[in-house]
């Protein structure tokens, strides 16, 4: 049996992959005089242009993932990561990169996506960042390890949980709540869920906080009901949370016995408060349940709404359709400025929330329909008529050609496209060009500092307008 010896190389980072990892290649000379062979390397926590020393255990492979042993030539944009968990935790991947460098890279990401579809990259503006790109998230989903430690998944290893003592991207109050639950788990010797054995009690802790109202939700996902032998421990949890965190207006225990590793509930138990919290955005109030989708960066989400309003220029005599409307994040601000608004969303609970949110905010010119986008557009055209403005905010997979062509045939005067994926955005927009639309502006917005994600707000208009 031939033993493959590890080898040391110095590699230069050529680019980053979609997960934010450095990509490089080295050439390996053949002992038998054949042509050199290329070894492609994935090297996390590196930056474009850096030269790094790596030790490869299996240089006979064509691809290999390896951590840098030494940074030989450092990028001027490298900085010290402030979080003690950064090297292992998978919550964010770019804390070693200056924020200015991240923003420039995200702008280029958007330009590359447009260029791939033959669209004008000069329309892309500089990415709007945050004044303070830390503690920006208003929702976190922490996971329990089988031993009962609470944390986030390790980078590149979904099975391993990194216990956390802090988190630089979560709201500060949320971190305090998470640590309090962690102490409770340790005091009572409770076990976490083992994904391989499908055994154990605690699976996830979801924490939501409204930066506007200050209200917070703590939701524990477990495999058993909070009674029987658990009753005294749960009673203690309620006492300590209500005493130390008066801003927790919703304390939930959610039973989930499904094998799928998702934050879902088969049986919801309200331990204290109500089963939702109030949040606000753009001057409108929203009710958020544990499974409500809501923008997780409220500061930057406000900028998304402001940009959408600025680009869309809603008028009092116009009709509007909000496609993939969710709970009405964009619907309510636009509804206050147009004659009528119709929202379409496939998730029925989100539509019910959107209806309730409209009533809570005294808006009575809205219609919401629980349908998939393709059928929903056709049905809404029959009930509601054709729109002057259409706003679309699809999931990461985009809207798809069939939906975009339906939009193109319906000929709204202005289309505001909000996207969380530049690649699918560019593909979708290309579908509209044959229908007479012109892309006018593309504004990237950074909702997730220290990660690879970037959002867009864009405007398309009919060329005749």
Positions annotated as catalytic residues are 420
Alpha-carbon distances, residue 65 vs 21, 24, 48, 280, 460 (angstroms): 10, 10, 16, 43, 42
CA torsion through residues 319, 325, 327, 328, sign: negative
Pairing of strands 37-43, 51-56: unpaired
Phi, psi for residue 173 in degrees, rounded to 5: -65, -35
3-state secondary structure string, 366-423? EEEEECCHHHHHHHHHHHHCCCCEEEECCCCCCCCHHHHHHHHHHCCCEEEEEECCHH
Please give the Cα distance from 21 to 18 (Å, whole number).
7
Buried b (16+ CB within 10 A) or exposed e, 357-372: bbeebebeebbbbbbe
Phi, psi of 323 (to 5 degrees): -90, 135
Give the separation between CA 243 and CA 241, rounded to whole angstroms.
5
Burial class (CB in 10 A: 0-12, 13-18, 19+), 138: buried
Q: For residues 219 and 251, what is the distance between their CA atoms, to the nearest angstrom?
A: 6
Q: Are strands 366-370 and 267-273 parallel, antiparallel or unpaired?
A: unpaired
Residues 325 and 292: their CA atoms lie apart, in Å, by 12
**Are 297 and 274 spatial neighbours (Cβ–Cβ below 8 Å)?**
no
């Amino acid at each position: 049996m031939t033993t493959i010896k590890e080898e040391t190389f110095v590699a230069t980072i050529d680019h980053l992959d979609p997960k934010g990892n450095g990509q490089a290649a080295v050439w390996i000379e053949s002992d038998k005089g054949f042509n050199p062979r290329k070894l492609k390397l994935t090297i996390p926590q590196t930056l474009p242009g850096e030269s790094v020393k790596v030790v490869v255990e299996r240089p006979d492979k064509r691809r290999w993932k390896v951590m840098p042993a030494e940074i030989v030539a450092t990028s001027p944009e490298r900085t010290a990561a402030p979080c003690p968990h950064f090297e292992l935790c998978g919550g964010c991947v770019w804390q070693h990169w200056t924020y200015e460098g991240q923003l420039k890279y995200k702008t280029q990401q958007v330009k590359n996506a447009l260029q791939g579809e033959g669209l004008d990259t000069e329309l892309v503006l500089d990415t709007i960042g945050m004044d303070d790109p830390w503690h920006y998230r208003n929702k976190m989903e922490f996971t329990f390890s089988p031993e009962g430690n609470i944390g986030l998944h390790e980078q590149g290893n979904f099975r391993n949980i990194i216990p956390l003592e802090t988190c630089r991207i979560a709201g500060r109050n949320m971190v305090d709540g998470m640590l309090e639950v962690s102490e409770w788990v340790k005091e009572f010797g409770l076990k976490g869920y083992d994904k391989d054995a499908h055994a154990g009690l605690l699976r996830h802790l979801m924490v939501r906080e409204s930066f506007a109202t200050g209200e917070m939700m703590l939701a524990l996902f477990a495999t058993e009901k909070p009674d029987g032998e658990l009753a005294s421990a749960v009673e203690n949890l309620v006492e300590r949370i209500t005493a130390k965190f008066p801003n927790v207006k919703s304390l939930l225990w959610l039973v989930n016995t499904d094998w799928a590793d998702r934050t879902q509930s088969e049986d919801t138990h309200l331990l204290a408060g109500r089963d939702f919290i109030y949040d606000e955005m753009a001057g409108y109030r929203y009710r958020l349940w544990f499974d409500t989708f809501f923008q997780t960066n409220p500061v930057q989400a406000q900028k998304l709404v402001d940009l959408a309003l600025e680009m869309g220029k809603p008028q009092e005599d116009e009709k509007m359709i909000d496609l993939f409307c969710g709970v009405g994040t964009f619907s309510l601000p636009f509804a206050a400025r147009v004659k009528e608004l119709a929202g379409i969303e496939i998730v029925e609970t989100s539509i019910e929330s959107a209806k309730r949110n409209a009533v809570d905010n005294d808006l009575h010119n809205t219609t919401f329909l629980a349908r998939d986008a393709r059928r929903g557009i056709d049905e809404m055209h029959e009930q509601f008529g054709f729109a002057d403005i259409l706003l679309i905010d699809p999931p990461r997979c985009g809207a798809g050609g069939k939906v975009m062509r339906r939009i193109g045939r319906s000929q709204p005067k202005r289309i505001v496209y909000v996207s969380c994926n530049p690649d699918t955005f560019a593909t979708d927009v290309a579908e509209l060009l044959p229908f007479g639309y012109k892309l006018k502006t593309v504004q990237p917005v950074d909702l997730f500092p220290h990660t690879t994600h970037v959002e867009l707000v864009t405007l398309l208009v009919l060329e005749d307008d």
